[in-house]
Amino acid sequence: MNQFQYVRPTKQQAAIEAVAKDATATFIAGGTNLVDLMKRGVMTPQKLVDINRLPLTRIDADPGKLRIGALALNSTVADDKQVRARQPLLALALNAGASAQLRNMATVGGNMLQRTRCSYFYDTTMPCNKREPGTGCGALEGINRMHAIFGFSDKCIAVHPSDMSVALVALDATVQVSGPKGNRSIPFAELHRLPGDMPQKDTTLEPGELITAVDVPDGPFTKHVHYQKVRERASYAFALLSVAAALDLDSNNIIKAARLAMGGVAHKPWRLTAAEQALVGKPATEETFRQAATVAMQGAKAFKHNAYKLQLGPNTIIQALKTAASAA
């Protein structure tokens, strides 16, 4: 672990400036991801700007939307009455992540900005373009079981590991950001980026930009929702692949609106808009789900060790939709 400075500002502006002015500085929230990466020498910030004294923990139940503070804990959000009533999909996704202990430390802002779990990224002796641009992608021809089937580049085939983000992208959330140039909102689907030629850049945030909150608009998805996470053990494992599904059904079981997103398949949470459209207006039956799953998988491409995702993807979509449709 390298040596670093540590500051804990109480003013948002001071925190932003501290990071904006110093290319080697970084925010720290729960630290459950950053500290691990620092211990392994994957991230070597010279200065840690602890944001835990900023007043960003509130969950505001506004008319039409929930505004969740960036420092709200994963466990707090998952247990929040308003969240459970208005956005049950988000609560399900949060509870599918990590362990109770970690959820008690992890923040909403930190969760969406957690970095990939690619083993090559984590091992500083291995090539990795994300960690050290230009060294090559260790996973491309390596053990790429956990890797992407959508949106990758020949520079990086990593996946974004967050469960919460899969629900947030499905729910059309918006990220509130404050930076050296002022405040802005980013549609959740535009927060994370594809690797392209710059896999070192996970998101579209500018240096010094602080996430202050995430807004989740109210919608009709309060009942028929499901987060299906497939993993190698029953709990406490990252997803091989996951699906967030939300349906709005009429009294004849016809789908009025649908939301669908996948995790563990791309460098960002993967919204499946074409598949959503394929669902709307159709009866909520396995056949409909199967067709949507086929649409969803168009363009998927596998590597040596992750071909199973081409089958697991549609299967998990079907299962998620079936469970969502039958949720009482």
Partner 1 sequence: MNEQPKPKKQIGAPMNRVDARQKVTGAATYSAEYQLPNMTYAVLVGSTVTKGRLTGIDTKAAERAPGVLAVITHLNAPKPPSPKPEGKDPSQPQTQGNPLQVFNDDKIRFNDQPIAVVVADSWERARYAAGLVQAQYAKEAHQTNLEANADKAFLPTAAKKNPKHPMNDYQRGQVDAYKTGAVKLESEYVIPTEVHHPMELQAITAHWEAPDRLTLYDKTQGTLATRRDFAKQWNLPEENVKVIATYVGGAFGNALHSWPHESAAILAAKVVNRPVKLMLTREQMFTMVGYRPYTWQKLGMSATPDGKITGITHESIGQTSTYEEFTEATLAQTRMMYQSPNVTTRYRLAALDIGSPIWMRGPGEATGAFALESAMDEMAYLLNLDPLEFRLRNYTDEDPEKNKPWSTKFLKECYKLGADRIGWSKRQLKPGSLRDGDWLIGYGMGVGTFGAHRGAATVGAQLLPNGTVLLQCATTDIGPGTGTAMTQIAADTLGISPDKIKFELGNSSFPKAVTQGGSSTVNSVGPATQEACLALKDKLRTLAGAAFSTAKAEDITFEGGQTVMRNDANGKLPLQIGLRNNPSVKVSYSDILRQNGQQNVSATVEAKPGGEGQKYSMYSFSVHFAEVRVHQLTGEVRVSKLVSCADAGTIVNEKTAGNQMKGGAVGGIGMALMEHARIDDRFGRYVTKDFADYHVPVHADSPAVEVAFVNQPDPHVNALGTKGIGEIAIIGVAPAIANAVFNATGKRIRELPITPDKLI
Residues near partner 1 (CB under 8 A) are 1-3, 41, 117, 119-120, 122-123, 125-126, 138, 141-143, 145, 228, 230-238, 240, 308, 311-312, 315-316, 318-319, 322
**Partner that binds at residue 122, options ligand FAD, ligand SF4, partner 1, none, CB closer than 5 to 8 Å by kind:** partner 1
Q: Sketch the per residue contact string, 149 through 168, with ligand SF4: x for CB under 6 A, - otherwise.
A: -------xxx----------
Yes or no: say if 151 and 194 are a contact pair by the CB < 8 Å rule: yes
**Partner that binds at residue 228, options ligand SF4, ligand FAD, partner 1, none, CB closer than 5 to 8 Å by kind:** partner 1
3-state helix, strand, coil split of the chain in percent (to 5) is 30, 25, 50
Q: Sketch the per residue contact string, 44 through 83, with ligand SF4: x for CB under 6 A, - otherwise.
A: ----------------------------------------
Which phi and psi (to 5°) does residue 144 adopt? -115, 40
**Partner that binds at residue 1, options ligand SF4, partner 1, ligand FAD, none, CB closer than 5 to 8 Å by kind:** partner 1
Nearest distance from C-beta of residue 97 to ligand FAD, angstroms: 3
Summarize as ranges the residues that interact with ligand FAD (CB under 6 A): 26-34, 36, 51, 70, 74, 97-98, 102, 105-107, 109-111, 113-114, 161-164, 210-211, 238
Distance CA 14, CA 147 (A): 38
Q: Which is nearer to partner 1, 122 or 222 (CB)?
A: 122
Which residue sits closest to ligand FAD, CB atoms considered?
110
Contact between 171 and ligand SF4 by CB under 6 A: the answer reads no
Nearest distance from C-beta of residue 142 to ligand SF4, angstroms: 7
Q: Which is nearer to ligand FAD, 162 or 319 (CB)?
A: 162
Yes or no: say if 155 and 196 are a contact pair by the CB < 8 Å rule: yes
Q: Looking at the chain, which runs of residues are DSSP E strands? A: 5-7, 25-28, 47-50, 59-62, 65-69, 174-179, 182-187, 210-217, 224-230, 241-249, 255-263, 270-271
Alpha helices in the chain (DSSP H): 12-20, 34-39, 74-79, 81-86, 88-95, 100-103, 108-112, 119-122, 164-170, 273-279, 286-296, 308-326
Secondary structure (3-state) at 28: strand
Yes or no: say if 282 and 255 are a contact pair by the CB < 8 Å rule: yes
Structure-token pair, residue 134:
């230009």
Secondary structure (3-state) at 213: strand
**Partner that binds at residue 128, options partner 1, ligand FAD, ligand SF4, none, CB closer than 5 to 8 Å by kind:** ligand SF4
Label residue 112 exposed, middle or buried (CB < 10 Å: 0-12, 13-18, 19+): buried
Q: Which residue has the tokens 């420092």?
A: 71
Q: Which is nearer to ligand FAD, 54 or 272 (CB)?
A: 54
Nearest distance from C-beta of residue 201 to ligand SF4, angstroms: 12
Nearest distance from C-beta of residue 253 to partner 1, angstroms: 19
Query: Which residue of 68, 118, 166, 239 would you call a contact of ligand SF4, by CB under 6 A?
Result: 118
Among candidates 146, 151, 90, which has minimal Cα distance to 118?
146
Contact positions vs ligand SF4 (CB under 6 A)? 116, 118, 120-121, 128-130, 137-139, 156-158, 199
